């Protein structure tokens, strides 16, 4: 069956967002070969409130939703047909009428450490400043190296690399996935394994949001969705939903496929200053991805209450 319509792909305008929209377009054209032509896919850039906030930590300004609201409005009003997102930046609930059931094959989810001196995280001198606005990265850095300092570091991947080069911090952390998509891997000092820096929920995953009742777009997207990536992200996001991941809580979670059809899931909750770290992990069949995430989320919640951490849980 050939597709006849033109489709408008909504995205933010950052270089990373544009690269992800372009990847989606390329995958769609490859998946549909003769049934779809390049001129049927138009990329539409949507400016979001979040893109305009440069001076505060995202968590203080109002959270993840700020990057997504205008894009979801464009979907609901029909101005665009589907939207490409970093799943890491998405809330666990979507507005009524919208759905994400298409996840592209997930990129490597690890964090990259980048220092001006070329020293790794373990070798930075005491007192060195690690610039990152991610509470999850701040808390894990301080948990491992209480002698370091952390500070807010915002802006696009390019802006942060420029700030580092200017000496505004001694080191920073960025998702490997973003650096790869921008062709910037050469700047990496050290790749952190997930035991040393547990990734953010859904880090490295691109998801495509659409109107739930749009069967034509559903058929268009179906062949580019990766079922294992979708299960991993569903597990991680189910954990986040249980903890109701308030933006002020450092939370990490990583699900991976081990031994055939088994998902192995690790999650952590930290105090902002890194002084406390709670861990939980478990395994289940990939079919039970959501249940596994919910179970680990509930376990962390119980631990947090027992530890009397002020997570509001
Ligand atoms: N919050 C910004 C953001 N959202 C997604 C990515 C990277 C790409 C990804 O995780 O898929 C980044 C930058 C970063 O954390 O380094």
Ligand 1 atom nearest residue 203's Cα: 10
Q: Give yes or no: residues 98 and 12 share one domain.
A: yes
Token digits of residue 149: 């300092």
Q: How far apart are CA 218 and CA 206, in angstroms?
A: 16
Residue 198 lies in a domain: no
Tell me the pLDDT tens digit for each residue of 227-258.
Answer: 999 999 999 999 999 997 555 789 999 999 99
**Which segments of the chain have a pLDDT < 50?**
none
Q: Give yes or no: residues 79 and 212 share one domain.
A: yes
What are the helix (H) ranges across the chain? 15-32, 49-52, 58-61, 69-77, 135-144, 157-165, 176-181, 215-221, 227-243, 289-306
Global pTM value: 0.94
Q: Give yes or no: residues 25 and 141 share one domain.
A: no
Q: Give yes or no: residues 98 and 131 share one domain.
A: no
Q: Give yes or no: residues 215 and 91 share one domain.
A: yes
Ligand 1 atom nearest residue 206's Cα: 11
What's the total number of domains in the chain? Answer: 3
Q: Does ligand 1 have an atom closer than 6 angstroms to the CB of 114?
A: no
SS3 at position 44: strand
CATH number at residue 76: 3.40.190.10
Q: Give yes or no: residues 42 and 168 share one domain.
A: no
Q: Does ligand 1 have an atom closer than 6 angstroms to the CB of 161?
A: no
Task: For residue 135, report the distance from its CA to the centre of ligand 1, in Å.
Answer: 14
CATH number at residue 260: 3.30.160.40
Q: What is the pLDDT of residue 46?
A: 96
Q: What is the pLDDT of residue 67?
A: 80
Are 80 and 136 in contact, with CB atoms under 8 Å apart? no
Out of 81, 89, 170, 284, which one is annotated catalytic?
89
Q: Does the active-site annotation cover 147?
A: no
Q: Does ligand 1 have an atom closer than 6 angstroms to the CB of 177?
A: yes
Task: For residue 109, report the distance from its CA to the centre of ligand 1, in Å.
Answer: 10
Q: Give yes or no: residues 21 and 76 share one domain.
A: yes
- Residue 56's domain spans which residues? 7-105+204-225
- For 162, residues 6+ apart whose C-beta sits below 8 A from its C-beta are none
Q: Does ligand 1 have an atom closer than 6 angstroms to the CB of 88?
A: yes
Ligand 1 atom nearest residue 173's Cα: 16
The ipTM value here is 0.96
């Amino acid at each position: 069956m050939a597709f006849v319509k033109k489709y408008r792909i909504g995205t933010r305008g950052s270089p990373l967002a544009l690269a992800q929209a372009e990847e989606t377009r390329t995958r769609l054209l490859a998946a549909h070969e003769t049934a779809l032509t390049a001129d049927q896919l138009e990329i539409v850039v949507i400016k979001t409130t979040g893109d305009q906030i440069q001076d505060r930590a995202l968590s203080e300004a109002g959270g993840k939703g700020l990057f997504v609201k205008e894009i979801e409005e464009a979907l609901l009003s029909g101005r665009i047909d589907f939207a490409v997102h970093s799943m890491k930046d998405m809330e666990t609930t979507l507005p009524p009428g919208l759905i994400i059931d298409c996840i592209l094959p997930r990129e490597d989810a690890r964090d990259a450490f980048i220092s001006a001196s070329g020293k790794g995280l373990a070798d930075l001198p005491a007192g060195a400043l690690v610039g990152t606005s991610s509470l999850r990265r701040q808390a894990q850095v301080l948990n491992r190296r209480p002698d370091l300092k952390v500070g807010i570091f915002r802006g696009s991947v390019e802006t942060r690399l420029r700030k580092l080069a200017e000496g505004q911090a001694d080191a920073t952390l960025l998702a490997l996935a973003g650096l790869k998509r921008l062709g910037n891997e050469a700047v990496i000092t050290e790749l952190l394994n997930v035991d040393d820096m547990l990734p953010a929920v859904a880090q490295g995953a691109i998801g495509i949001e659409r109107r739930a009742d749009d069967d034509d777009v559903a058929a268009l997207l179906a062949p580019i969705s990766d079922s294992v990536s979708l299960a991993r992200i569903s597990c991680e996001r189910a954990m986040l939903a249980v903890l109701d991941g308030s933006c002020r809580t450092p939370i990490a979670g990583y699900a991976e496929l081990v031994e055939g059809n088994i998902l192995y899931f690790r999650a952590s909750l930290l105090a902002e200053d890194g002084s406390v770290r709670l861990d939980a992990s478990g395994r289940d069949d990939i079919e039970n991805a959501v249940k596994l995430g919910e179970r680990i989320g509930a376990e962390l919640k119980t631990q947090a209450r027992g530890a009397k951490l002020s997570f509001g849980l």
